[in-house]
Amino acid sequence: MTNPVLAFVFPGQGSQQIGMLSDTAKAFPEIGATFSEASSTLGYDLWDLCQNGAQEDINLTERTQPLLLTSSVALYRAWLANGGVKPACMAGHSLGEWSALVCAGVLAFDDAVRLVRERGRLMQEAVPAGEGAMAAIIGLDDQAVEAACAEAAQGGVVAAVNYNSPGQVVIAGSAAAVERAIESCKAAGAKRAMPLPVSAPFHTELMRPAAEKLASQIEAAVFNAPEMPVIHNVHAKSEANPAAIKALMVEQIYSPVRWTSCVQAMAVDGVSQLVECGPGKVLAGLTKRIDRSLAAFSIESPAQMSEAIASTAV
């Protein structure tokens, strides 16, 4: 059964924590089974890494990406196995778009694990450590952030890359240009402008080499038509054609994440409930800033899972 007003949203990098999903794994066998499946594909014990490893290990992009994909798919499987209804549509923030595609039946989980590991490796390789940066700009409208970036570029690369909610935009680019843009945003009246602890300038033109290298692997993978609409980061619309979805997943690597527009598009289509399917509650928080009329649920813990399943039952 599908709930016509329910959407699932999947988080991206930054939601990972050592020890995450430990209680959930005890309650739902789907968690351990999904992690075992991913570990077989990766060649190392992903569950042990996220329970007993170091935070700096899971913050390595080529490990973060398979870890968050696996966490989200595991929670979605547990949701369905425990009586949760299927959503009417899905979206994922950056990396989370791959989780949405797996859960919408576009590609096999093991293929996605391989692709996002490679995606992470190539994105990290594209810009040497220390040469790129990202920063969160709070309390400035999109146009003012874009103008500050244009002023600060001075031949370098800096751009708005994550339109997360009204008044919250992430910028990224070469380290010196981002530093100049932070000062420009402060001068323009930003409440806060703070560097983010990330290892590469994601979703900028600097990522285009990574996208070009990953394109052949995406092209070789089997993509199916989605079982339900997936709203894409690049243009905040759904796409039914597998070849077009492949092209969007390449373009997504060096294009801004238009998250505010994605959530607004779902609301226009009649969505009134969102479930954040992954560790943390970043997207649930952003949802409230984008559209206060939307009910947002997290399902990271067994209690949250039970409450969300009951609240979204048709």
Taking residues 267-296, report their average pLDDT.
Answer: 94
Domains in the chain, ordered, with CATH? 2-126+206-311 (3.40.366.10), 132-198 (3.30.70.250)
196 or 303: which leads in pLDDT: 303
| R_g of the chain, CA atoms, integer Å | 19
Q: What is the dihedral of CA 255, 259, 260, 266, to 10 degrees?
A: 120
User: What pLDDT does 172 receive?
Assistant: 97
Residue 287 has pLDDT above 90, yes or no: yes
The verdict on whether 94 is a catalytic residue reads yes
Ranges 218-227, 238-247, 280-289: which has the least confidence = 280-289
232 is catalytic: no
Rounded CA separation 149/162 (Å): 13
* Residue range 110-161, pLDDT digits in tens: 999 999 999 999 998 998 878 999 999 999 999 999 999 999 999 999 999 9
Q: Which of 15, 94, 165, 255 is catalytic?
A: 94
| CB-based burial, 122-148: b 16+ in 10 Å, e otherwise | bbbebbeeeebbbbbbeebeeebbeeb
Whether the CB-CB separation of 171 and 145 falls below 8 Å is answered with: yes
pLDDT at 237 over 80: yes
Q: Are 34 and 67 in contact (CB under 8 A)?
A: no
Mean of pLDDT values over 258-277: 97
Which of 165, 174, 184, 203 is flagged as catalytic? 203
Answer whether 43's CB lies under 8 Å from 71's CB.
no
pLDDT digits (tens, 9 = 90+) for 161-174: 999 999 999 999 99
Q: For 190-204, how does the pLDDT look when each residue is reduced to its tens digit (9 = 90+)?
A: 999 989 877 689 999
